[in-house]
Amino acid sequence: MSRINPILNTDSYKFGHFLQYPPGTQALSGYITTRGTSMRPEIVFFGLQVFLKEYLAQPVTAMDVAEAQELAALHGQPFDLAGWQHILNAHGGFLPLRIEALPEGSFLHRGVPMVQVVNTDPACFWLTSYIETALLRAVWYPSTVATSLRHVKQTLMPYLNTSCDDPDGLISTRLSDYGARGATSLEQAGLGGLATLLYFDNTDTLEAIVYARRYYGAKMAGFSVPASEHTTMIAWPQRDELQSFDHMIDQFGDYPSYSVVSDSYDIHNSETAL
83-118, pLDDT tens digit by residue? 999 999 999 999 999 999 999 999 999 889 999 999
Question: What does the pLDDT average to over 179-201?
Answer: 95
Count of alpha carbons within 13 angstroms of residue 212, beta-carbon side: 21
Question: What does the pLDDT average to over 179-195?
Answer: 95
pLDDT at 94: 97
User: What stretches of the chain show up as alpha helix (H) in DSSP?
Assistant: 48-51, 62-75, 81-91, 127-130, 132-161, 167-170, 186-196, 206-216, 230-233, 241-252, 267-273
Domain ranges of the chain: 6-140, 143-216, 230-273
- pLDDT of 1 higher than 50: no
Mean residue pLDDT of the chain comes to: 93
Question: What is the C-alpha to C-alpha distance for residues 130 and 84, in angstroms, rounded to an integer?
Answer: 12
Residue 223: count other Cβ atoms within 10 Å of its Cβ: 14
pLDDT at 253: 94
Question: What does the pLDDT average to over 134-156?
Answer: 95
pLDDT at 271: 56
Architecture per CATH, 6-140: Alpha-Beta Barrel (3.20)
Question: What is the C-alpha to C-alpha distance for residues 256 and 86, in angstroms, rounded to an integer?
Answer: 59
CB 117 within 8 A of CB 31: yes
